[in-house]
Amino acid sequence: MSSTLVFAAMFVSLLLLLLSGMPLAFVLISLAVLFTILLWGLDALVLTVLQTYDVMTSDVLLAIPLYVLMASILQRSGIIEALYKAMELWFRRLPGGLAVGTIAICTVMAAMTGIVGAAVAAMGILALPSMLRRGYDEKLALGVICAGGTLGILIPPSIITIVYAATAQISVGKMFAAGIVPGMVLSGLYVSYVVIRTMLKPSLAPAPDNIKISWLEMFGSLKSLFLPTLIVFSVLGSIYAGIATPTEAAAVGVVGAMLSALLQGQFTYANLSDAAMDTLRVTTMIMWITIGAKIFVSIFTGTGGADSLLMFIENLELNRWLVLLAMMGILVLLGLFLDEIGIILLCVPVFMPIIGAFGFDPVWFGVLFLITAQMAYITPPFGYTLFYIKGVLPPGIGMETVYRAILPFLVLQILALILFMLFPDLVTWLPNQLSQRLVS
Amino acid sequence: MSIINGYCKSITQLNRWLAITASSLVFIMVAVISFEVIARYFFDAPTVWALELSTLLLGPYFLLAGPYFLHTAGHVNVDILYSKLSPRIAAFTDLGIYAVIVAISCVLIYQSIPVAQNAIESGETSFSSWNPPIWPVKALIPVAFSLLLLQSIAEFFTAIHRAGYSTEAQT
């Protein structure tokens, strides 16, 4: 069978089997088993065991349970509630203040945790009712929560970034550093949008309430900033001061999260075992998909599929930017059907040789991919963020409102994507500065 | 029927217990890695075993929990069509899905037993500077896939029951 035909058969059967509702991990494993037998016979199946063992002993992927545990403990530690209270006190007098504050908290949470669900779930519970009660426009309120929540994909630490770095075989620390400036730019874009919108149309965000709050209380609330700051600096600081690898920094972060929970009086057995079970569920899901995807991709590369695809594209003699746009287009399209982790594991090994051949920087490409992943997270039908927000919508607001709410933010994300495509230095400058300092 | 019911319950119970046990392994990883960071940075005494030990725990951690999350539907799937199916059609779809998982579990068990056997017989170690035995990790692969087989058979039976039940309900 020619490799192009194998390629087509594999992807078509992947999409068809996925629609049956079978879990992605098992779809990938069963198709991999089937195609291995068809192409190479039963004896080649030992490949499945070797790939499984490979995933089981990956020291880069070891970071995943640690970062998820850190997020799960922080989620139950009460410090997000405390942060939100402080933000309300300080931002309530500004026009659109709570919406701006929500983005600010999402940014801080993105820098503390590596998973998207934590920020969206917390803001959906805390910020949404608070903004609606004060008469904020529901679309503005929903939009900032959805868009702000996805900042965690780009701002380090981030689970998706770890999976990308592991698959593309580049340094996790470098990839983390590459997300910082783009993450801040996006966060800044969201804030500017909210401020400009509410200045042009003050009815979107109501006049602040005039309850007098003493300065003592105002400054007292600031102590809630202390623990998050400490955690962000201990994790990112230990990576970029050359003290720890990203995996080790995650363990440091877990200890920091436990201390925060302790100080908040939330360090209970129930919280800890809930956090442990959550962590196990997320990690297990990711790792089983990784096993399936690695076997699946190794068949594709084993039949010479990646090489012939590269040759095919080089023979077309296309402009390199057209090739880049085509790859981004495929990623966006797959984002409609597949889980982001699955997309990385399936596409990156195939795309990496092409990226290399056309002289693109894999770190820069990774950031562009992470921005498209953010778009996929807030767009129907498979936006993860939408599932979280669905659970906390008050009666009277339907998903159509949410879909309309995310539109302006989607435009901002596209703007950011174009900006970073045109000015790669915005992405690559910081990782190049920091990469000499990393522990390898 | 009660034998099958008992089988499903006890397999799920076993896998739940294994998942709960596995979930605590992450705390050992945290402790071991934190120890390494402190030993290296503050006492300039890096260990040869900390990172390797935590990495060896990663496999058991997620592999043993896989079967239980099959039961709780914790593995991510695409439900755009599935969620629109009637309970009866959904039950029949599940029959197909679990039959496939039963089949691949058998393939994976069959393939991993020789690998595990080899590792056990030679007492395989990692050949790193710490050089711990790694045969237990390899031996775990067929065990985990056997647990997956047992759980997917249990889920298959539950799907049969649901398919039968919804047929009766319609007549």
The string of pLDDT tens digits covering residues B108-127 is: 999 889 989 898 888 888 88
A2 falls within a domain: yes
From the list B41, B75, B137, the residue facing A23 with the nearest CB is: B75
CA of A58 vs chain B CAs: smallest distance (Å): 7
Query: Cβ contact (<8 Å) for B112 and A247?
Result: no
Residue B1: pLDDT band by 50, 70, 90 thresholds? low
A272 falls within a domain: yes
> Is A381 touching B (CB cutoff 8 A)?
yes
Query: Cβ contact (<8 Å) for A57 and B55?
Result: yes
Among A171-175, A399-403, A420-424, B60-64, the least confident range: A399-403
Q: Are residues A17 and A165 in the same domain?
A: no
Query: Cβ contact (<8 Å) for B23 and A381?
Result: no
Predicted confidence at residue A209, as pLDDT, reads 64
Q: Is the pLDDT of residue B60 over 50?
A: yes
pLDDT tens-digit series, residues A124-162: 888 888 888 888 899 999 999 999 989 989 998 998 999
Residue A440: pLDDT band by 50, 70, 90 thresholds? low
Instruction: For residue A381, say if its preceding peptide bond is cis, omega within 30 degrees of 0.
Output: yes
Q: Which of residues 282-311 of A touch B (CB under 8 A)?
A: 283-285, 287-289
From the list B74, B93, B108, the residue facing A20 with the nearest CB is: B93
Report which of A121, A74, A112, A115 is spatially closest to residue A386, judged by C-alpha positions: A121
Q: Are residues A84 and A40 in the same domain?
A: no
Rounded Cα distance, B70 and B122, in Å: 34
pLDDT tens-digit series, residues A251-285: 999 999 999 899 888 888 988 999 999 899 989 98
Q: Are residues A258 and A190 in the same domain?
A: yes
Rounded Cα distance, B66 and A291, in Å: 12
CB-CB contact of A142 with A402 (8 Å):
yes
Note the maximum CA span of chain A. Answer: 77
- Provide mean pLDDT across the span B24-29: 94
A191 falls within a domain: yes
CA of A329 vs chain B CAs: smallest distance (Å): 21
Q: Are residues A112 and A257 in the same domain?
A: yes
Among A46-50, A142-146, A433-437, the least confident range: A433-437
Fill in the DSSP letter of residue A243: S
Q: Is the pLDDT of residue A404 over 80?
A: yes
CA of A39 vs chain B CAs: smallest distance (Å): 16
Residue A210: pLDDT band by 50, 70, 90 thresholds? low
Q: Which residue has the tokens 């996006």?
A: A186
Query: Cβ contact (<8 Å) for B77 and A24?
Result: yes
Query: Cβ contact (<8 Å) for A57 and B62?
Result: no
- Per cent of chain A over pLDDT 90 is 27
Tokens representing residue B116 in the block: 């595990």
Instruction: For residue B67, say if its preceding peptide bond is cis, omega within 30 degrees of 0.
Output: no
Query: Cβ contact (<8 Å) for A381 and B74?
Result: no
A321 falls within a domain: no
Q: Are residues A109 and A215 in the same domain?
A: yes
Among A34-43, A183-192, B5-14, B112-121, the least confident range: A34-43
Rounded Cα distance, A419 and A186, in Å: 11
- Per cent of chain B over pLDDT 90 is 46
Q: Are residues A112 and A215 in the same domain?
A: yes
Rounded Cα distance, A11 and A17, in Å: 10
Q: Are residues A163 and A251 in the same domain?
A: yes
Contacts of A25 in chain B (CB under 8 A): 75-76
Contacts of A381 in chain B (CB under 8 A): 80
Fill in the DSSP letter of residue B133: B
In chain B, count of helices (H) and strands (E)? 6, 0
pLDDT tens-digit series, residues A3-23: 677 778 888 888 888 888 888
- Chain mean pLDDT for chain A: 86
CB-CB contact of A279 with A93 (8 Å):
no
CA Rg value for chain A: 22
Q: Which of A302, A326, A342 is the last residue of a domain?
A: A302
Cα dihedral B115, B116, B119, B121 in deg (nearest 10): -110
Q: Is the pLDDT of residue A315 over 70?
A: yes
A130 falls within a domain: yes
pLDDT tens-digit series, residues A288-302: 988 988 888 888 777
Q: How many domains does chain A fold into?
A: 2
Rounded Cα distance, B15 and A171, in Å: 36
Query: Cβ contact (<8 Å) for B62 and A287?
Result: yes
A378 falls within a domain: no
Q: Are residues A43 and A79 in the same domain?
A: no
Sorted by sequence, the CB contacts under 8 Å of residue A111 that are 6+ apart come out as A155, A156, A232, A236
Q: Are residues A124 and A249 in the same domain?
A: yes
From the list A21, A248, A273, the residue facing B79 with the nearest CB is: A21
Query: Cβ contact (<8 Å) for B23 and A21?
Result: no
Considering the entire predicted model, what is its pTM? 0.90
Residue A341: pLDDT band by 50, 70, 90 thresholds? confident
Q: Which of A248, A272, A302 is the last residue of a domain?
A: A302
Tokens representing residue A98 in the block: 């709570």
Cα dihedral A349, A355, A360, A365 in deg (nearest 10): -40
Query: Cβ contact (<8 Å) for A247 and B66?
Result: no
Separation in Å, CA A41 to CA A33, A35, A44, A45, A265? 10, 9, 6, 8, 59
Residue B19: pLDDT band by 50, 70, 90 thresholds? very high
CB-CB contact of A176 with A161 (8 Å):
yes
Contacts of B111 in chain A (CB under 8 A): 45-46, 48-49
A271 falls within a domain: yes
* SS3 at position B125: strand
Contacts of B70 in chain A (CB under 8 A): 23
Contacts of A283 in chain B (CB under 8 A): 26, 61-62
Rounded Cα distance, A163 and A24, in Å: 16
Query: Complex ipTM, two decimals?
Result: 0.93
Scanning A201-268, the segments in alpha helix (DSSP H) are: 215-221, 226-240, 246-263
Q: Are residues A278 and A192 in the same domain?
A: yes
- Closest-CA residue of chain B to A274: B23
Fill in the DSSP letter of residue B80: T
- Chain mean pLDDT for chain B: 88
A376 falls within a domain: no
Q: Are residues A94 and A181 in the same domain?
A: yes
- Provide mean pLDDT across the span A310-315: 78
Query: Cβ contact (<8 Å) for B107 and A20?
Result: no
Q: Which of A302, A335, A353 is the last residue of a domain?
A: A302
CB atoms within 10 A of CB A323: 19
From the list B23, B63, B90, the residue facing A276 with the nearest CB is: B23
CA of B86 vs chain A CAs: smallest distance (Å): 13
Query: Cβ contact (<8 Å) for A273 and B37?
Result: no
Scanning A114-223, the segments in alpha helix (DSSP H) are: 116-133, 138-149, 159-168, 172-200, 215-221
Q: Which of residues 66-85 of A touch B (CB under 8 A)?
A: 66, 69
Report which of B76, B61, B87 is spatially closest to residue B164, judged by C-alpha positions: B87
Domain limits for position A13:
1-57+292-302
Contacts of B92 in chain A (CB under 8 A): none
Residue B171: pLDDT band by 50, 70, 90 thresholds? very low
Q: Are residues A164 and A245 in the same domain?
A: yes
- Closest-CA residue of chain A to B32: A251
Rounded Cα distance, A168 and A363, in Å: 9
CB atoms within 10 A of CB B121: 9
Rounded Cα distance, A46 and B109, in Å: 11
